[in-house]
């Protein structure tokens, strides 16, 4: 395998990244200066050595800061998809930033009202296990008592306008009394990234 091409496929395609990666491989005895090819049986060990020694990041300032704080030398990736923090996905980046904001705010319980079933499942996969979530179907009737219980339980309530959210359901949350209404954020953007960014901004203003 051509070493330069292989390193590029892993995100070490920029000159500084390629140089840092080669230094790791040479220090591990997996190649030597001037050698241009790597045997296929060494590829797995070589990739593991690179992931252990270096932290790839995309151009995002947040991802660069994450890499610098990782304890490993940060390396700007030539492929966004190999960023260790966001994997090149706007939704994954938004989930990471939201989780970080929740941690800083000491928030653990989040209610999300609205969204399609598929998107709610995506959020469960990305945030579940790290936060306590209540995903509310915006098309099904929600009594005032149940909505009140959600509001009292939650650290944050995200109302996802512009999605599958009936007015009668959203009203149960948006009309909350002042002592609970501060938890409610109404976002009209349809995408996951926009919804979670609204949550981040809410915590930033507190």
Final residue of a structural domain among 20, 52, 82: 82
Residues 134 and 199 occupy one common structural domain? yes
pLDDT in tens, 83-120: 988 887 888 889 999 999 999 999 999 999 998 888 88
| Cα atoms found within 13 Å of the Cα of residue 47, Cβ hemisphere only | 12
- Domain of residue 107: give its range: 90-205
Final residue of a structural domain among 63, 82, 101: 82
Sign of CA dihedral 74, 10, 53, 88: positive
Quote the pLDDT of residue 90.
Answer: 85
Quote the pLDDT of residue 46.
Answer: 94
Quote the pLDDT of residue 62.
Answer: 85
Question: Three-state SS for 14?
Answer: coil
Contact predicate 66/97, CB 8 Å: no
Structure tokens at 101: 């904001």
* Long-range interactions of 12-21: CB distance < 8 A, separation 24+: 12/50, 12/56, 12/75, 12/77, 12/78, 13/78, 13/79, 14/76, 14/77, 14/78, 16/75, 16/76, 17/56, 17/75, 17/76, 17/77, 17/78, 20/54, 20/73, 20/75, 21/50, 21/54, 21/75
Residues 58 and 152 occupy one common structural domain? no
CA distance 28 to 36: 16
Residues 193 and 97 occupy one common structural domain? yes
CA distance 41 to 60: 34
Residues 96 and 197 occupy one common structural domain? yes
Buried b (16+ CB within 10 A) or exposed e, 92-103: bbbbbbbbebbe
Question: Rounded to two decimals, what is the model's pTM?
Answer: 0.68
Residues 67 and 115 occupy one common structural domain? no
Final residue of a structural domain among 57, 82, 107: 82
At 49, is the pLDDT very low, low, confident or very high (cuts 50, 70, 90)? Answer: very high
Task: Report the CATH number at residue 121.
Answer: 3.40.50
pLDDT in tens, 118-158: 888 889 989 988 999 999 999 999 999 999 999 999 999 99
Q: Total domain count for the chain? A: 2
Residues 127 and 70 occupy one common structural domain? no
Residues 67 and 101 occupy one common structural domain? no
Residues 52 and 140 occupy one common structural domain? no
Residues 63 and 119 occupy one common structural domain? no
Residues 118 and 196 occupy one common structural domain? yes
CA distance 102 to 108: 7
Residues 39 and 13 occupy one common structural domain? yes
Report the alpha-carbon angle 97-203-133, nearest 5. 70
Residues 48 and 106 occupy one common structural domain? no
Percent of the chain with pLDDT over 70: 100
Structure tokens at 150: 């959600």
pLDDT surpasses 90 at 206? no
């Amino acid at each position: 395998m051509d070493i330069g091409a292989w390193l590029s496929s892993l995100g070490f395609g920029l000159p500084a990244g390629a140089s840092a990666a080669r230094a790791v491989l040479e220090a591990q005895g997996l190649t030597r200066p001037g050698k241009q090819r790597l045997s296929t049986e060494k590829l797995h060990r070589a990739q593991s050595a690179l992931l252990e020694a270096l932290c790839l990041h995309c151009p995002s300032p947040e991802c660069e800061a994450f890499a610098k704080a990782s304890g490993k030398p940060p390396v700007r990736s030539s492929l966004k998809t190999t960023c260790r923090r966001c994997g090149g996905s706007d939704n994954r980046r938004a989930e990471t930033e939201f989780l970080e904001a929740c941690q800083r705010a000491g928030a653990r319980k989040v209610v999300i009202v609205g969204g399609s079933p598929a998107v709610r499942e995506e959020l469960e996969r990305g945030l579940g296990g790290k936060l306590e979530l209540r995903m509310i179907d915006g098309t099904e009737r929600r009594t005032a008592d149940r909505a009140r219980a959600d509001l009292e339980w939650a650290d944050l309530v995200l109302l996802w306008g512009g999605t599958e959210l009936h007015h009668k359901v959203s009203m149960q949350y948006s009309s909350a009394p002042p002592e609970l209404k501060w938890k409610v954020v109404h976002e009209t953007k349809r995408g996951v990234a926009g919804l979670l960014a609204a949550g981040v901004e809410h915590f930033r203003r507190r």
